[in-house]
Chains A and B, each alone.
Chain A
Amino acid sequence: MVRFLIPSVAVLLFLLEPEFAMLSPIELSGHIYYLVPRFLILYLIFISIYYSRQRAVMYGLFFGVLYDVFYIDIIGLYSVLYPLICFLAGSIVKVIHQHLVVTTSISLILVAILEFVLYQFFYLIGFTSIPLVDFLQSRLLPTMIANMLFLMILGWAFKYLINARVLQRAREVS
């Protein structure tokens, strides 16, 4: 049961992201803020930290390709960045403490890096022309706040679910 729960949560988050994206952009006192939901990659980072780096990279590749083909139409962007982020997360966690607060902040920093790399890429190919300051104000900051709220609400649930799977696997082995 728990075994299938982990990939199905990933699929659910993948499908929910665009639905939440429809609520964005929001307009507050004349300024326009973009909120980019990054639920799936946050979840994959948690898998990478608490479960298995290799597994997370595989999921990252799979969903990255889906993401590229379905939404972006530039194949090779998310399909590289997702596994790379998972790999980084799995490598970082080997040298630091695995407390929930620490992992939450690491996940958020990694997502910020992802956003920044994407901004640089789209700037390079000319899809966007907004200056860096605008990007930080109208995109990165609101996105980080929204995703932080998401992690604060559901981060413990991810950890609980993944730990249940780890325990189950340990039992199977013994």
Chain B
Amino acid sequence: MPHFFFNKKVILLLVGMIFLVALISFSLRDRTNATLPEQIIKDTVGVAQSIVARPANYIAGIFNNIDSLLNTYEENKRLKARLEEFAVVQTEALQLKSDIKKFEQIEKSESLKAFNPIQATVIARNPDQWEEKIILDKGSSHGVTKNMAVMTASGLIGKITLVTPFTSEVELLYTNNPNYRVSAMVLGEKEAYGLIEGFDEERNELILKRIDSSLMVKEGEQVVSSGLGGIFPKGIPIGEITEVSTDDYGLTKMAYVKPSADFSILEYVMIAKRTSTVIDGADGNATNEDLTNSPEDSEKEEE
């Protein structure tokens, strides 16, 4: 036995293994904040990364422009066909807008739809692509907080999962993380509420679960965020229903949703900062607290 202990290399290896397992299990926990050394590394790499990202985005932009130039003729044709409908829709929209204003005055409630966009540039995408994650160049010093909605012009793409002073991490909708849910609603004849939970890897579509089985949900209907989760604004487009079925236990309906945003090349995104009261949802590790009027925030405002 004593002979064994003289073998320094074996002991070093064992200690190393234990240390490694401890480190991995520490970092696998559902952490809400990055530790200080992590934040320092993230911010330093983030700054270097955003310098490299600028010319890279520029080059990618050129390719996109060429691509859209080639499609101009087709697109023009399609748009012309839709132009005739447009005038009718516009007058209708104006009418509805004034109606909404009147109702809001009566109700005097804050609209869940209103939000202040924070423009951000995508500086990196997780290169090994096992977890669908992108990194943005805006962080807590720009007013970004955890769980905010991230979107492009065409729709919702994900939410903020980790914030450091100058960078923030976005987990895309394409994830199988069971703690990742987005409250959504289907814009049909009658509004149906459900939760976006996970995605189907073979079909490459999102899954909308927990829809009340008494409600009719049809293919082709639009799915938008409901704003009931607490932090997301209402009405961000998510996608379109492609198939409806019942879920595993037959109690509720589920639907496959084809996302409206394009996930393949993301350059510029918007972080939606809701203007009305923000509640930290009861989801996962969230605390169900009132974030806008919390004591810490109001103290800061007084200062």
Contacts and interface: CB of A to CB of B under 8 A. Distances in A.
Given A69-B41, A76-B24, A130-B201, A118 B130 contact: yes
Contact of A22 (B131, B201, B265): B265
B265 A23 contact: yes
B23 A75 contact: yes
Given A76-B24, A80-B20, A122-B130, A18 B162 contact: no
Interface stretch (B52-60, B237-245, B268-276): B52-60
Nearest to B19: A76
Contacts of A72: 126, 128, 131
Interface string A91-135: 000000000000000000000000000110010011111100010
Interface string B114-143: 000000001111111111010100000000
A23 B266 CA distance: 9
Q: Which of A32, A69, A126, A130 has the most CB of B within 10 A?
A: A69
A4 interface: no
A73 interface: yes
Given A66-B45, A69-B42, A22 B125 contact: yes
Contact of B129 (A25, A65, A80): A25
A36 interface: yes
A36 B128 contact: yes
B71 interface: no
B62 interface: no
Majority secondary structure of chain B interface residues (helix, strand, loop or mixed): mixed
A118 B60 CA distance: 29
Nearest to A12: B52
Contacts of A80: 20
Interface in A21-36: 21-27, 32, 34, 36
A45 B38 CA distance: 27
Interface residues of B, number: 38
A172 interface: no
A15 interface: yes
B27 interface: yes
A127 B20 contact: no
A24 B24 CA distance: 27
B27 A21 contact: no
A37 B124 CA distance: 13
Interface string B36-51: 0010011001101100
Interface residues of A, number: 41
B154 interface: no
Nearest to A18: B124
A124 to B, nearest CB: 11
A77 interface: yes
Q: Which of B48, B130, B131, B169 has the most CB of A within 10 A?
A: B130
B45 A70 contact: yes
Contact of B24 (A15, A19, A71, A75): A75
B23 A18 contact: no
B176 A76 contact: no
Contacts of B52: 15-16, 19
Contacts of B27: 68, 73-76
A32 B124 CA distance: 21
B127 A17 contact: yes
B144 to A, nearest CB: 17
Contacts of B176: 126-129
A138 to B, nearest CB: 9
Contacts of B23: 75-76
Interface of A: 11, 15-27, 32, 34, 36-37, 65-66, 68-77, 80, 118-119, 122, 125-130, 134
Given A22-B122, A75-B23, 7 more contacts: A25-B129, A66-B41, A71-B135, A73-B27, A75-B26, A76-B20, A128-B176
Report the 4 A-B pairs with minimum CB-CB distance, sorted nearest first.
A18-B124, A76-B23, A19-B56, A21-B127
Interface of B: 20, 23-24, 26-28, 31, 38, 41-42, 45-46, 48-49, 52-53, 56, 60, 122-131, 133, 135, 162, 169, 176, 201, 204, 264-266
29 contacts: A15-B52, A18-B135, A19-B56, A20-B127, A21-B129, A22-B60, A22-B125, A24-B129, A24-B264, A25-B129, A25-B264, A27-B264, A36-B129, A66-B41, A69-B41, A70-B42, A70-B45, A71-B124, A71-B128, A74-B24, A75-B26, A75-B27, A77-B24, A80-B20, A118-B128, A119-B130, A127-B130, A127-B176, A130-B201
